[in-house]
Amino acid sequence: MQTTGKPPTMADVARRAGVSPMTVSRAFKSDTSINRDTREAVLRAADELGYVFDSTAANLRSQRTDFVAVTIPSINNANFADTVRALSEGLSQRGLQILLGHTNYDTREEERLIEQLLRRRPEAIVVTGGKHTARGRQLLNNARIPVIETWDLPEDPIGHVVGFSNAQSVREMVDHFVVAGYERIAFIGGDADRDTRGTDRRAGFIAAMNHHGLDATRLIAAGAPPISMREGANSMGRLLETYGDTQAVICVSDLSAFGALTECQRRGIAVPDQMAIGGFGNYEIGGICVPSLTTINAFAREIGEKTAALIIDLLDGKREAGEPARLVIKPDLIVRESTR
């Protein structure tokens, strides 16, 4: 096993094993017809040479990379991480590998990323959300591979969709709050535009409040997404100072909701008695903290699972590529201790 000079190729392995390169190639595939002993001899020769299969060359010749490109807003978000993990596990069963990139909640960044990813010739591309630059859309449209938009229900989808309605989910939480007797309800979320899911959640809040004939103007802008725990805490501080008689607040995520909760704790404001708090995303923290957080389970893992299954069906031809799938997930309201 030499560590200098050029790395061994299939031809080197073939020579050593006394077979043709084609036989070496077959020995490295699991489903090809090849004699057991021949395969073992080839693999032994490969091992002795320290041969490592070159996917790049195989990809070029076979025109298949077994890559699936995935873009997420942030690599540092447990919800998206859950989706990616489920996706990764589902896809790995078919030998598909994820090529992951993050956009920092920026569609310009997403556009660059999409272009970069498509150059690697993935078998499919999964993007988070339905908002893209014009050129980003165009790139996805022209890609001759399955395109799946997730975590959202775009009105004008590019291809397939695996998502849920962010607005509708929050509407249901507002309904629950109103039935529980809350009237002066606020919303803590990020600045508009960048995070479309967050924007949708706020829109759902406003629509539901208006529907109930309640004041929908208690909106705290927490800064640029993603909204951290710290920003949630700061926002709660501003809420208390601006709208002191607020009875309940819905936060754009469990992380900001937890931050808001801690600010109440620091100020001696009882949750839920003096202030009820709702979050979004069913992060682990929401089920653990004291009091635990009422939240919305968006089924991040299921999004990944369904997306993986969809991609596999499409690649296997078990599903018609021409008929875009629209897999709608119904989020669950989880009522816990932070509301009464």
Interacting residues toward a copy of itself by CB under 8 A: 1, 3, 7, 50, 52-57, 59-60, 65, 75-76, 78, 81-82, 84-85, 88, 97-102, 115-116, 118-121, 139, 141-144, 228-230, 233, 255, 258-259, 262, 265-266, 284-285, 287-290
127 binds, among DNA, a copy of itself, none (CB under 5 to 8 A by kind): none
206 binds, among DNA, a copy of itself, none (CB under 5 to 8 A by kind): none
Q: Which is nearer to a copy of itself, 40 or 48 (CB)?
A: 48
State the minimum distance, in angstroms, from the CB of residue 49 to DNA. Answer: 11
State the minimum distance, in angstroms, from the CB of residue 81 to a copy of itself. Answer: 4
318 binds, among a copy of itself, DNA, none (CB under 5 to 8 A by kind): none
Strand order in the sheet with 326-328: 97-102, 67-72, 124-128, 147-150, 160-163, 326-328
State the minimum distance, in angstroms, from the CB of residue 10 to a copy of itself. Answer: 13
Q: Which is nearer to a copy of itself, 144 or 318 (CB)?
A: 144
State the minimum distance, in angstroms, from the CB of residue 88 to DNA. Answer: 23
Alpha helices of the chain — where are they, by DSSP H? 10-17, 21-28, 36-49, 55-62, 78-92, 107-119, 134-142, 166-179, 196-211, 229-242, 254-267, 284-288, 300-315
Which residues are near DNA by CB under 7 A? 6-7, 9-11, 19-23, 25-26, 28-29, 32-35, 38-39, 53-54, 57-58, 60-64
Distance CA 178, CA 209 (A): 9
294 binds, among a copy of itself, DNA, none (CB under 5 to 8 A by kind): none
Distance CA 141, CA 192 (A): 26
Q: Which is nearer to DNA, 63 or 213 (CB)?
A: 63
Q: Which is nearer to a copy of itself, 41 or 269 (CB)?
A: 269
State the minimum distance, in angstroms, from the CB of residue 131 to a copy of itself. Answer: 22
- Nearest partner of 292 among 241, 324, 247, 340, judged by Cα: 340
35 binds, among a copy of itself, DNA, none (CB under 5 to 8 A by kind): DNA
Distance CA 264, CA 262 (A): 5
Does residue 128 contact residue 73 with C-beta atoms inside 8 Å?
yes
- Nearest partner of 111 among 81, 83, 131, judged by Cα: 131
Alpha helices of 277-325 — where are they, by DSSP H? 284-288, 300-315
Angle, helices 134-142/107-119, rounded to nearest 10 degrees: 20
